[in-house]
Amino acid sequence: EAGVAQSPRYKIIEKRQSVAFWCNPISGHATLYWYQQILGQGPKLLIQFQNNGVVDDSQLPKDRFSAERLKGVDSTLKIQPAKLEDSAVYLCASSDSLGFSTDTQYFGPGTRLTVL
Amino acid sequence: AQSVSQHNHHVILSEAASLELGCNYSYGGTVNLFWYVQYPGQHLQLLLKYFSGDPLVKGIKGFEAEFIKSKFSFNLRKPSVQWSDTAEYFCAVNQAGTALIFGKGTTLSVSS
């Protein structure tokens, strides 16, 4: 079974530029998550999708971050404009949870973003 | 607010030593508990999980964890570590269908 795919793996941009990350979840997984992991910390949720609908975006900085999952499969996370503090690893995870209690989240390799 | 606390930031052990990594959570209601591991250069992988039933959970590579509800704890253990266990370990918790809340992680360094 193929895992969660993410691209690019690394990205370096200057502040105020824009950047986009792509995620393709495990086939058949209805739930998709984007997490941000800052160096020295654990991952923190940015946004959760169930199929193509947003379940939780309470921690997404909506003035600069946006995400979509138009067809309920792959997803794109965008930052515009980027700030220095956005330097982090952006992780995508998926699960086949449909509200059941036994969901397990599987993570992709992440995109390491450096903002100069 | 829900939170997860990992007691040790960096643990250094010799091969064959026993390991215990502490994890406490602050979360009301029924929770699912997880330990994830991130080996150098690799992505986060599930080590073990607890949803219900026997509070002693066995995972991959000889790891186990014990859920103690009264102490809000889910400590990870391994009786004898190997050099290949060098990695970062994350404790995480969630409720059904929600995002994971992670601790800050513990870096384990095992010397041969």
- Residue B101 is predicted with a pLDDT of 95
Q: Which strand (E) or helix (H) includes residue B19?
A: strand B19-21
Whether B98 sits inside 8 A of A35 (CB atoms) is: no
CB–CB of B67/B55 below 8 Å? yes
Q: Taking 70 as the threshold, does the pLDDT of residue A102 lie above it?
A: no
Distance, CA of B27 to CA of B29 (rounded, Å): 7
Distance, CA of A91 to CA of A45 (rounded, Å): 9
Residue B90: which of A86, A37, A25, A23 has the closest Cα?
A37
CB–CB of A112/A87 below 8 Å? no
DSSP state of B84: G
Whether A45 sits inside 8 A of B99 (CB atoms) is: yes
Whether B96 sits inside 8 A of A106 (CB atoms) is: no
pLDDT tens-digit readout, B13-53: 999 999 999 999 998 788 899 999 999 989 999 999 999 89
The CB-side HSE value for B5 (13 A sphere, CA atoms) comes to 9
Least confident range from A85-89, A109-113, B40-44, B106-110: namely B40-44
**Best interface-test mutation with B: which of A1, A103, A112 has the largest number of B CBs within 10 A?**
A103
CB–CB of B96/A101 below 8 Å? yes
Q: Is B85 exposed, middle or buried (0-12, 13-18, 19+ CB in 10 A)?
A: buried
Strands (E), chain A: 5-7, 10-13, 19-24, 31-37, 44-50, 53-56, 65-68, 75-79, 88-95, 106-107, 111-115
C-alpha A68, offset from chain centre? 10
Nearest to A101 among B36, B51, B100 (CB): B51
Whether B102 sits inside 8 A of A108 (CB atoms) is: no
- Residue B60 is predicted with a pLDDT of 93
Q: Which residues of A touch B99 (CB under 8 A)?
A: 33, 35, 45, 48, 56
- Residue A96 is predicted with a pLDDT of 83
Mean pLDDT score of chain A: 93
Q: Which residues of A touch B97 (CB under 8 A)?
A: 31, 55, 97-100, 103
Q: Taking 90 as the threshold, does the pLDDT of residue A33 lie above it?
A: yes
- Residue A1 is predicted with a pLDDT of 62
The pair of three-digit structure tokens given for residue B88, joined into one six-digit string? 């970062």
Distance, CA of A13 to CA of A116 (rounded, Å): 6
Task: Calculate mean pLDDT across residues A11-21.
Answer: 97
Report the share of chain A in percent with pLDDT over 70: 94
Distance, CA of B77 to CA of B66 (rounded, Å): 8
Report the share of chain A in percent with pLDDT over 90: 84
- Residue B83 is predicted with a pLDDT of 96
Whether B104 sits inside 8 A of A40 (CB atoms) is: yes
Q: Taking 80 as the threshold, does the pLDDT of residue B57 lie above it?
A: yes
- Residue B98 is predicted with a pLDDT of 86
Instruction: Please name the residue that has the structure tokens 């010799």.
Output: B14
Residue A3: which of A112, A97, A100, A91 has the closest Cα?
A91
- Residue A100 is predicted with a pLDDT of 56
A vs B, Cβ pairs < 8 A, gives: 63
Nearest CA in chain A to B9: A40
- Computed on alpha carbons and rounded to an integer, the radius of gyration of chain B in Å comes to 13
Whether B97 sits inside 8 A of A103 (CB atoms) is: yes
Nearest CA in chain A to B51: A102
Whether A109 sits inside 8 A of B43 (CB atoms) is: yes
Whether A43 sits inside 8 A of B100 (CB atoms) is: yes
